Amino acid sequence: MDALLITGQQRLRGEVAVAGAKNAALPILASTLLGGEECVLGNLPRVRDVFTMYTLLRMIGASVKCEGHCAVIKTADVHSTEAPYDLVKTMRASVLVLGPLLARFGQAMVSLPGGCAIGPRPVNFHLDGLTKLGAHIRLEHGYILAEASKLHGARIDLALPTVTGTENLMMAACLADGTTVINNAAKEPEVVDLARSLVRRGAKIHGAGSERIVVQGVSRLQGMDYSVIPDRIEAGTLLMAGAITGGDVHVKHCHPGHLDAVLSKLGECGVEIHEGRTSIRVRAPRRLRAVNVQTFPYPGFPTDLQAQMMALMCVAEGTSVISETVFENRFLHVSELQRMGASILVEGARAVIQGLPALSGAPVMASDLRASAGLVVAGLAAQGETRVSRIYHLERGYERLEEKLQVLGASIKRVPAPV
């Protein structure tokens, strides 16, 4: 269990490249189960959640050969349709194999994801949608047991635009008889990337990226050679790391259009922003201005950047209100930021932050992936030393974050956690 040791208040400057999107890679990897032909994937981030998905695919009989950021996956010899508890409990996104296994093999047995640090996170909308597609679903002994001799197209009205729910249903609908319409679908770029990869394999999907996705079922999907989109959350985290240190940071290999809401907030904070075709440069003043932020599903401000933005607000000039509308309990970083001297008052789903001239470095503990990123960003601006422990959370979704920050001039190093 390593920790990150950060000596703050170094101004970051320079260029850094973003890895592939974890949350696009995971559903695309799961979707390889929809057909037996070879899938060659590129720009896969080398992060723990992606490795966990490789393990799951191998456990059920797929061949996964990785080299660097590429993987060649063959699912012709899949011999099991079970995603076991021991694996699902380490990564909730394992539930993404449910739709593909059911659609191709007529059955799936997937452990119910349990509790989660950021809220209850049920999968009821995934299951309701699959039931509409004709699946018979039972919950037994902590498992989802789904069966269907053949799925058929249906109209599904999602109560909330769930991201992995939309992905599961879109994948399942690809092999269903007839047409499926998903209303109130998630519009995230990762949903669009999954749809694009499926269309590359012969799927018939229209409307991905809008709130109405139409899928006409086909009898089979071919193989593919596909490269996943850049990670907008990693890009946003690096931009915020630059901004909080009054830095000048050029983030490359990203899609600026995926970060409109974030760039607009950073602009309001006084950050100068230059957008290129595939890069963003931020130049920040010595002190940022406080702004109010509300998280929303895409294209709103992403909940996955809320903790990092809160770190910025802790040292901004003025008072800000951050409202979390996507998850019920995503303020676990607050008590750790308070250990660094931050002035934050939580009232239900709102946090009121009084910006201070500086935070003071302290030992802090990561509780989930994005909270960890928020603590790292805070540590970069704090006076003295911050030790962020339990960084295995960070490694679930960031590839070599500390090395990228070192390149930008941060004083950050990985150290073994004290026993």
Smallest distance, ligand EPU to C-beta of residue 175, A: 21
Q: Identity (one letter) of the amino acid at 176?
A: A
Residue 7 or 323 with smaller CB distance to ligand EPU: 323
User: Minimal distance in Å, beta carbon 389 to ligand EPU?
Assistant: 19
- C-beta closer to ligand EPU: residue 163 or 293: 163
Which residue number, 96 or 290, has a Cβ lying nearer to ligand EPU? 96
CB of residue 188 vs ligand EPU: minimum separation in angstroms? 6
We find the least distance from the C-beta atom of residue 168 to ligand EPU, in angstroms, to be 9
Count CA within 13 A, CB hemisphere, residue 404: 22
C-beta closer to ligand EPU: residue 144 or 215? 144
Query: For ligand EPU, which is the closer residue by CB, 93 or 316?
Result: 93
Toward ligand EPU, which CB reaches closer, 104 or 232?
Answer: 232
Task: Give the shortest CB-303-to-ligand EPU separation in angstroms.
Answer: 5
Indicate which residue of 39, 66, 70, 116 is catalytic.
Answer: 116
HEC sequence for the chain = CEEEEEECCCCCEEEEECCECHHHHHHHHHHHHHCCCCEEEECCCCCHHHHHHHHHHHHCCCEEEEECCEEEEECCCCCCCEECHHHHCCCHHHHHHHHHHHHHHCEEEEECCCCCCCCCCCCHHHHHHHHHCCCEEEEECCEEEEECCCCECCEEECCCCCHHHHHHHHHHHHCCECEEEEECCCCCHHHHHHHHHHHHCCCEEECECECEEEEECCCCCCCEEEECCECHHHHHHHHHHHHHCCCEEEEECCCHHHHHHHHHHHHHCCCEEEECCCEEEEECCCCCECCCEEECCCCCECHHHHHHHHHHHHCCECEEEEECCCCCCCCCHHHHHHHCCCEEEEECCEEEEECCCCCECCEEECCCHHHHHHHHHHHHHCECEEEEECCHHHHCCCCCHHHHHHHCCCEEEEEECCC
Nearer Cβ to ligand EPU, position 163 or 290?
Answer: 163
For residue 39, the minimal CB distance to ligand EPU (Å) is 19
For residue 156, the one-letter residue type is I
- Residues within the interface to ligand EPU (CB under 6 A): 23, 26, 93, 119-126, 160, 162-165, 186, 190, 303-304, 326-327, 369-370, 397
CB of 121 to ligand EPU, least distance (A): 4
| Whether 174 is catalytic | no
Residues with a catalytic annotation lie at 116
